[in-house]
């Protein structure tokens, strides 16, 4: 399993998000040094989703992690 790096600008957070993701055929696992890790099963997407779909899902998950971190910081 090769790990892919990902970097994108999240418009809602107004910041650059960086991380990586890997697929084991059943789940996608995303990781960010800043925001932590998250794994989700492909579910309805099927086990053989293409690379573009993996990248979109990884971006969504990394954005969720970043939003969660931002929310945690506001509550302290």
Q: What are the tens digits of pLDDT across the range 18-73?
A: 999 998 888 899 999 999 999 998 876 665 678 888 899 999 999 999 998 767 66
Per DSSP, the residues of the chain read ---EEEEEEETTTTEEEEEEEEE-SSEEEEEETTTEEEEEE-GGG-TT--HHHHHHHHHHHHHHHHHHHHHHHHH-
CA dist 8 and 74 (Å) reads 23
The ranges assigned to domains in the chain are 4-75
The reported pLDDT for the residue numbered 51 is 86
């Amino acid at each position: 399993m090769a790990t892919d790096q990902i970097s994108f600008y999240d418009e809602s957070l107004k910041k650059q998000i960086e991380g990586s993701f890997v697929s084991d055929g059943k789940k996608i696992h995303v990781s960010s040094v800043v925001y932590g890790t998250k794994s989700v099963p492909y579910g309805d997407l099927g086990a053989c989703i293409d690379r573009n779909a993996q990248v979109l899902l990884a971006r969504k998950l990394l954005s969720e992690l970043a939003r969660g971190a931002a929310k945690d910081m506001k509550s302290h």
